[in-house]
Amino acid sequence: MTSSAARSAGRRRRPRALPAVASLYGLLLLAGCAGNMPSALNPGGTGAARVAGLWWLLFWISVAVFVEVMALLIWALVFRRGNARVRHGQPLRFVTIAGAGLPFVILVAVYGVGLRDLAALGEAPGPDAPAVEVTGHKWWWEVRYPGASGATANEIHIPVGERVRVRLRTDDVLHSFWVPQLMPKTDLIAGETRETWLHAERAGSYRGQCAEYCGNQHAHMAFLVVAQPRADFDTWLARLNAPARSPETDTERRGQQALVQGTCAACHAVRGTTARGRVGPDLSNVGSRWSIGAGAVPNDAGHLGGWIANSQTVKPGNAMPPQPVDAAQLPDLIAYLRSLE
């Protein structure tokens, strides 16, 4: 192919590629607007709102700079093409102001806004604020409330409209606590207790995720923050102090026995029974959990059975070894655990 043929072929391709690329970008932008996206640009509370504000500020500054540079480029290409005359003095002043002075002013201003937001994000809620203690494990989140004897996992309930203090610890490696719609990341560092806070403006569920690679099931270390009206939150918290629901049917009773007398009790707790293990998640309310295995699979009877039979096929590498469960016991265990709301 001659070079001119190649050029014309390229010219012919361009009009077809352009709309495709443009619509791809359009789709990406639209994806960001989709209703329940756990995006930092879709804030649900004051913490994430600050981050989103800063993001949009930087975005619009970038747009303005881009447009200005492109306009200058076009102006130079179209109007000054072949203009060999160079006037001294004037261009130098323009380059100093537009090329050095303006960026300096913009960067210092953005730095100032960033510092202001950083200070606001670091401001802890008052001593009377509700608190929650979250511990990162490979690969799930243990959730406790001061004053409540029980625990839950991978689900943090908070009262809507209130700032909630979150104390963060890790049981093993580095993890990072991130609820994009509520608060930027806080790293969990071994041997240290870190603090952050959560605030949700409207009731609802906000997805959180471990944001620091912590091993092969890092992606399945998700959690939900459930923001609910104060009264509902109090009811929910009271449940963490009450014994788990008692079995009502024969199969549930057999399931409870299998759990309490089996290997499960060594690692799991069910309030009001002799199962007091603390290696794995507290199972007292496992029936009402949004997922099994921190986002690994949905919480339904089929997935629960698969998990108990051999969780290593569901979430390879997780800290629950295959259990010696009788095929006959499996339906009982499923029935009992599903009843624990």
Taking the C-alpha atoms of residue 113 and residue 125, their distance in angstroms, rounded to an integer, is 21
CA angle 130, 133, 139 (to 5 degrees): 145
Is residue 279 part of the contact set for ligand HEC (CB under 6 A)? yes
Helix (H, G, I), strand (E, B) or coil at 309: helix
Minimal distance, residue 213 CB to Cu ion, in Å: 6
Is residue 254 part of the contact set for ligand HEC (CB under 6 A)? no
Helix (H, G, I), strand (E, B) or coil at 215: coil
Nearer of residues 170 and 228 to Cu ion, judged by Cβ: 170
Nearer of residues 43 and 293 to ligand HEC, judged by Cβ: 293
208 to 39, 103, 223, 229, 283: CA distances (angstroms) = 10, 36, 5, 20, 21
Cα 31 from chain centroid?
A: 17
Q: Which two tokens mark 4?
A: 């001119």
Range 116-145, binding ligand HEC (CB under 6 A): 139-140
Cβ contacts of 37 within 8 Å, gap of 6 or more: 31
Is residue 337 part of the contact set for ligand HEC (CB under 6 A)? yes
**Binding-site partner at residue 39 among Cu ion, ligand HEC, none, CB < 5 to 8 Å by type:** none
Taking the C-alpha atoms of residue 18 and residue 269, their distance in angstroms, rounded to an integer, is 59
Nearer of residues 185 and 218 to Cu ion, judged by Cβ: 218
Nearer of residues 63 and 219 to ligand HEC, judged by Cβ: 219
**Binding-site partner at residue 266 among Cu ion, ligand HEC, none, CB < 5 to 8 Å by type:** ligand HEC
Taking the C-alpha atoms of residue 62 and residue 216, their distance in angstroms, rounded to an integer, is 37
Query: Length of the chain, please?
Result: 341
Q: Which two tokens mark 227?
A: 């923001």
**Binding-site partner at residue 150 among Cu ion, ligand HEC, none, CB < 5 to 8 Å by type:** none
Type of residue numbered 308 = I
Of 13-21, 43-51, 244-252, 258-266, the window that binds ligand HEC (rule: CB under 6 A) is: 258-266
Nearer of residues 221 and 340 to Cu ion, judged by Cβ: 221
Range 214-273, binding Cu ion (CB under 5 A): 214, 218, 221
**Binding-site partner at residue 214 among Cu ion, ligand HEC, none, CB < 5 to 8 Å by type:** Cu ion
What residue ranges bind ligand HEC (CB under 6 A)? 139-140, 153-154, 259, 262-264, 266-268, 279-281, 283, 286, 289, 292-294, 307-308, 315, 318-321, 323, 325, 333, 337
